[in-house]
């Protein structure tokens, strides 16, 4: 999240939902007048994950597993909320440094909503196929969620 960098928190630091929310609530004003400019932000997704948590009583990781990934047959997909957790068959990211050598490039972020989804090509294919067959993944989500409310 760009706000972490502005606050002096480096990408190599472990960050949590509480860290991100703390930065968001400290925002004192807008960057510009509405309608004059636009700027992409992930903060809304983090806030959405907090709404899901408060309404459902479940973390986004658990809620998505039950209501999105499992109904779509995406059995190897998850939100990562613990940077130390092991994920089977996970491919690690790397990047080339200025000296030409490659180095590990991983995030230690533990906040969810604005990222941290881990999936596989097979799960993406399965989820897409089912989504197309059902016309919309949202129908599956709402049907399963509504049935749990009854």
pLDDT 10s digits, 102-143: 998 877 777 888 778 888 888 888 777 766 666 566 666 667
Domains within the chain, CATH numbers bracketed:
2-149 (3.40.710.10)
Contact present, 38 and 107 (Cβ < 8 Å): no
Task: Give the Cα separation of 128 and 5 in Å (integer).
Answer: 34
The pTM of the whole model exceeds 0.75: no
Residue whose pair of structure tokens reads 């969620």 in the numeric block: 145
Give the pLDDT confidence score for residue 141 in this predicted structure: 67
Give the pLDDT confidence score for residue 84 in this predicted structure: 82
Contact present, 57 and 85 (Cβ < 8 Å): no
Please give the structure tokens belonging to residue 102: 């490659």
Burial class (CB in 10 A: 0-12, 13-18, 19+), 112: buried
3: which residues sit within 8 A by CB, 6+ positions away?
20, 23, 24, 27, 43
Q: What is the pLDDT of residues 61-96, one digit of tens each?
A: 999 999 989 988 888 889 888 888 877 777 778 899
Please give the structure tokens belonging to residue 148: 């749990």
In a 13 Å sphere around the CA of 24, the CA atoms on its Cβ side amount to 17
């Amino acid at each position: 999240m760009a706000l972490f960098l502005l606050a002096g928190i480096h990408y190599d630091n472990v960050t949590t939902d509480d860290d991100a929310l703390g930065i968001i609530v400290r925002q004192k004003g807008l960057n510009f007048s509405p309608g004059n400019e636009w700027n992409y932000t992930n903060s809304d997704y983090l806030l959405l994950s907090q709404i899901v948590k408060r309404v459902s009583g479940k973390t986004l990781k658990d809620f998505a597993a039950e209501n999105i990934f499992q109904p779509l047959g995406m059995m190897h997909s998850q939100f990562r909320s613990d940077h130390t957790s092991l994920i089977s068959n996970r491919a690690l990211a790397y990047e080339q440094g200025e000296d030409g050598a490659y180095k590990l490039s991983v995030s230690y972020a533990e906040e969810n909503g604005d990222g941290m989804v881990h999936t596989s090509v097979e799960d993406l294919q399965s989820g897409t196929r089912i989504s197309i067959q059902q016309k919309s993944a949202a129908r599956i989500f709402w049907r399963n969620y509504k049935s749990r409310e009854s």
